[in-house]
Structure 1
Amino acid sequence: MRALHIITGLGVGGAEQQLRLLLRHLTVDCEVVTLTNPGAVADGLLADGVRVHHLGMGGNRDVSALPRLTRLIRGGGYDLVHTHLYRACVYGRFAARLAGVRAVVATEHSLGASQLEGRKLTAGVRALYLASERLGSATVAVSPAVADHLRRWGVPAPRIEVVPNGIDLARFRFDLSRRHHTRRRLGLPEDAYVVGGIGRLIAGKRFDVLVRAMAQLPEDHWLLLVGGGPEESVLRRTAHEAGVADRVLFTGERPYVPDGSPGPDLPSLTFAMDLLASPSPEESFGLAAVEALASGLPVLYASCPAIEDLPPQATAGARRVRGGPEAYARAVAGVRAAGPRPRTAPEAAHRYSISRSAARLMDVYAAALSSSSTPSPQKASS
C-alpha cells in the first residue's frame, strides 16, 4: 500500500511530531506533502528516509494549490490519502477525490468546544469542514472528547474512529544520567525543584499562570518552559514584572528525537523536570501530560482528555487543578511536600504506546480501502 500524508505545515508542533513518530511505526510506504512551512519536522522526516513534498501554498485562500495538489496525488499512484490539520483536511480531501483516490482518512488533532487549532469555531469554518468531511472515508479523533465534539458538529457517528495519539515509551523512559547532564547544561542549581510547561507559547495555554505561581513559591523553585510561539515576549515580561525572571527558563521549540540541532531533545528536558503543569483549560488530548507520566513525573492539569478518559488507578501521579496562580502554587507545594515518587510510568502511559496507535490506524486504513473498493448497490445490481 502507498499512502500520502498531507499536513498544513511541518514546524515543531504536536501534530507534526506525532506524524513523524507515527510514520516510524506504520507498515505502509508513506510520503508526506506539507502545504506550507517545511520546518524542522520536515528535516527529521527526510532524515528518516521519508520523501517530503512542499506545495508552497501562499495562504488559506490560495486556491491555486488545489490543482497542484491534485496533480501530485494523481501522479504518485497512492492507494490512500491521510490528511492532518484543518487546512490540509479541506484541500486534501477535495484534491484526493479529484485525483481519483477514494480511500481518504483525516485525523482531527485539535478540536475543542470553542476552538479548532486556535481559531474560533465560526459558522463558516464549520460549514467548510463538514462539506469536505463528506468526501472522506473516515475521520479519526485523537480522544473520545474530540469524537464527541465531531458528533455535535454534525459528523455522522459511524464515520468517526477514535485512535489516540501515541507516545514512544522507550524514549521517555527516565534516564538519571541524562537528567543530570541536562540540568547542568541548562544551568539549573543542584537543589532546584523544576516545574515544567510544554507546548506552544500562545495565550490559550495559560503559561502565565505558571509564571505568576513562581512568585508564590520559594526561590528554589524554577519554571522550565519548552516551546515557542507569539506569547514568549509577553511571558518574559510577566516574569520580570513578577520578579521571577531569573527562575524562568525558555528553551524554544524542541524535537521529540535528536535531530542534530543544538540543545537537548524533549525527553531529556522532561527528565530534568520534577513536575509537569498544564494549566490549559481546553485540550484535545493532552500529549505533553501523557509523555510526562511516561517519564514518571507527577502531573497537574486543567484539561487532559487522555487522562480523564481512564480510571483513576491507571493515572497515578496525575491531578486536576482548577484555578489560577494561587491554586497551582498550592498544588506544586503539595506535590513537593509529599516527597519524590519513583520515576516509573503508570498504566496510562502504556495504554498510549505508539505501537498500539499505529496498529489501530492500520485497521482504519484497511476499512477505508475495503469500502473504497466495494461496488455501490447500483453497480452491483447492474
Structure 2
Amino acid sequence: MTRKIKVLQLQNRYNVNASDLAEQVIQGLPTQTYEVTTVFLRGRPKPGEPESRAARSVYFDLSSASTKGLRLKALWLLYRHCRAQGYDAVIAHRFKPINMMMLLNLVLRIPACVGVLHGLGEYDRPYRRWESRALISKAWRMVGVSRAVCDDLINSGAGFKPYNVRQINNAIDISRAERLQHPKPQARQLLGLPEDAFVIGTIGRLVPAKGHVQLLEAFSEIKDDYPQALLAIIGEGRLRQEMEAIIQARQLGGRVRLLGAKDDALQYVRAYDVFVMSSVSEGLPLALLEGMSARLPVVGSDIDSMRPILEDSGGRTYPAGQPMLLAERLREIVLLTPQERAKEGQRTYEYLCRAHAIEDFRKQYRDLLEEMLSNGKRNHE
C-alpha cells in the first residue's frame, strides 16, 4: 500500500471554529492520500470545544513568553516532533510559525514548505527582512491571502519574489453561510432590532484597527436626516467603554446597538440592510465576505486589502479614516430604492461566488502542495 503524504499544519495558538480557513485547507486534502497533523504552539480546547479535523492534533501548550525572543523551548519541541514524524510537507500560518519552521528546516530539510501570511507589514522590521533573506530556500512558497498581501510580500525586501509567492484568496463556505443565515425578521428578533428600521451593520472586534470610532462619527452625521436609520455592531473588545462614551456624548443612545460577541455572527447578517467595513488595517476581512454572502450592498475603506475586492464587486469605497466621506457613502445607500439595493447586493454575491468560493480555495492549496511535492521529488532524483 502506498504511504500517505504526511503534512504538518502549524498554528501559533488554538483557534478552531467553523470558519477557520486552516481547517478548510485540511478538508481539501483527501484522507486516502494525505495524513494531516495539526500542531498548536499555544492553547488547547476546553471541554466541549472543537478539535481540528486533522487526523491528529498536538498541543504544545506553551506560554506566550515561550514563543517570543529566542524561543528555545518551542524550537526544541517542534524540532523533536518533526524529526519523529518525518513530514513530507508543512503549512505554517502567520509569521512566528513560519519563522520557526524556516530556522528548523535548515536541518530538517522538509521538501515542501508553505507559509501563509494573513496581514500586511509582517516584514517591516529590518531584522525580519534580513533573517528571511538568509533563511528562504527553494523548499518554500509563501501564500498571501489577498492581492494586497502578495504585493506587500514581494515589495518587502525579505527575499520573496513572484516565483515563490502565490495568491490564494481567503474564502468562505458560501453554501454553509446561507444555510446558517436567519431570514431578516428572525435575525432582527434575535438581535432585538426593530423590524422597520434601516440597519447599517458591521461585524468586528472593538479594536482601533476596525475603525468603529470613525463609523460612529459618520453615523452621527446622518442620524438626524434619517431617523429610521440604526447602527448595529456585532463584536466585543477593549474599545467598548470609549465607544459607549462617544455614543453618550453624541446623543446616539437608542440609535446605536453594541451587540457584543456572537458565535457564528454571520447567522445574523441578514438583519442588516447594508454592510460596512470601516477598517484602517486588514489582511483580508472575512466579515466583508460574510456580508456579501447575504446579498447586501457593501461599503468599505479603501485600504490596500479591501480596495480591489470592493472595486471588483461593485461595492462602495471611501478614504480610510475619513468619517465625513463615509457618511456620504451611507447617505447614498439609504437613498437607494429597495430594488436598487437588492440589485447591488446581488452583484456583490455574484462576485463572491467567482472569487472567494471555498471549493476553489481548497483546490488551490491541494494543487500547490502537489506541485511542490512533485518538484521536490524531481530535485531528489
What TM-score do you get using the length of structure 1 for normalisation? 0.82
Of the three residues 32, 38, 46, the one matched with 2:38 is 32
DSSP-derived class of the 2:334 partner? helix
Of the three residues 5, 9, 20, the one matched with 1:5 is 9
The residue that corresponds to 1:347 in the other structure is 350
Whether the aligned pair in 2 keeps the contact of 1:22 and 1:354 (CA below 8 Å) is no
What letter is aligned with 2:61?
Answer: G
Structure 1 position 79, deviation (Å): 1.8
The residue that corresponds to 1:368 in the other structure is 372
Q: Which moved more, 1:158-167 or 1:198-207?
A: 198-207
Structure 1 position 303, deviation (Å): 3.0
Structure 1 position 346, deviation (Å): 3.2
Distance 2:333 2:17 in 1: 29
DSSP-derived class of the 2:169 partner? coil
Distance 2:128 2:252 in 1: 40
DSSP-derived class of the 1:140 partner? strand
CA change 1:166–1:270 in 2 (3 A) is same
Whether the aligned pair in 2 keeps the contact of 1:82 and 1:106 (CA below 8 Å) is yes
DSSP-derived class of the 1:173 partner? helix
Does 2:139 match 1:164? no
What letter is aligned with 2:198?
Answer: Y
Q: What are the within-5 Å matches in structure 2 for residues 161-310 of structure 1?
A: 161-173=166-178, 177-216=182-221, 217=223, 218-255=226-263, 265-303=264-302, 308-309=307-308
Whether the aligned pair in 1 keeps the contact of 2:28 and 2:366 (CA below 8 Å) is no
What letter is aligned with 2:172?
Answer: I
Where in structure 1 are there 5+ consecutive unaligned residues? 256-264
Distance 1:333 1:8 in 2: 42
Structure 1 position 66, deviation (Å): 0.3
What letter is aligned with 2:316?
Answer: R
Of the three residues 334, 337, 342, the one matched with 2:335 is 337
Deviations 1:293-317 (A, max 9, x none): 22101111113657644695x513x
Does 2:317 match 1:320? yes
DSSP-derived class of the 2:302 partner? coil
Distance 2:128 2:242 in 1: 29
Distance 2:182 2:268 in 1: 12
The residue that corresponds to 1:357 in the other structure is 361
What letter is aligned with 1:359?
Answer: K
Q: Percent identity?
A: 22
Structure 1 position 215, deviation (Å): 1.9
Where in structure 2 are there 5+ consecutive unaligned residues? none
Deviations 1:180-217 (A, max 9, x none): 22211211111122222223332122111112222222
Does 2:23 match 1:17? no
Whether the aligned pair in 2 keeps the contact of 1:277 and 1:299 (CA below 8 Å) is yes
Structure 1 position 364, deviation (Å): 0.9
Distance 1:185 1:285 in 2: 28
Distance 2:322 2:251 in 1: 18
Of the three residues 42, 51, 56, the one matched with 2:56 is 51
What letter is aligned with 2:149?
Answer: V
DSSP-derived class of the 2:119 partner? coil
Q: Which moved more, 1:297-306 or 1:137-146?
A: 297-306
Distance 2:92 2:289 in 1: 24
Distance 1:352 1:274 in 2: 22
Structure 1 position 272, deviation (Å): 1.5
What letter is aligned with 1:325?
Answer: P
What TM-score do you get using the length of structure 2 for normalisation? 0.82
Structure 1 position 174, deviation (Å): 7.8
Whether the aligned pair in 2 keeps the contact of 1:171 and 1:267 (CA below 8 Å) is no
CA change 1:359–1:338 in 2 (3 A) is same
Distance 1:85 1:176 in 2: 30
Structure 1 position 338, deviation (Å): 0.4
Structure 1 position 336, deviation (Å): 1.6
Q: How many residues were matched structurally?
A: 357
